[in-house]
Amino acid sequence: MARLSSDPIFAALTQPQLVAGVTYSWAVLNLVVTLEAFLITKSFWTLLIAPVVHAAGYLACLREPRFFDIWITRVSRCPRVPNFGFWRANAYTP
């Protein structure tokens, strides 16, 4: 069986917009976290948080570019139930 070929244009159209290897939403989150830390501590040393947060997002986006969006959807749509500690899963009936 012949191997399917893919065009680079098609692959580019199916991926989200990336800013330096991370999604746009992760870049905005990085900016917000870094600026909040700077405003709270009033120290320029907290600006070193930005490369660390960016590196974490870059590693997460290597396998799945929409990692952050999928995680946000999962957290918002599938919250923990009260008996999660007992069953170690989202079981809705005892």
71's CB contacts (< 8 A; 6+ apart) are none
- Give me the chain's average pLDDT, please: 84
One-letter amino acid of 93: T
Domain ranges of the chain: 16-87
d(CA 41, CA 44): 9
User: Cα–Cα distance between 25 and 32 in angstroms, integer?
Assistant: 11
pLDDT of residue 41: 92
Q: Residue 7: which pLDDT band, with cuts at 50, 70 and 90?
A: low
Half-sphere exposure of residue 48, counting CA atoms within 13 Å on the CB side? 3
**Which tens digits make up the pLDDT trace of 24-70?**
888 998 999 999 999 999 899 988 999 999 999 999 888 888 888 88
SS3 54: helix
Q: Please, which pLDDT band fits residue 93 given cuts at 50, 70 and 90?
A: low
Joined together, the tokens standing for residue 11 give 């692959």
Please, which pLDDT band fits residue 92 given cuts at 50, 70 and 90? low
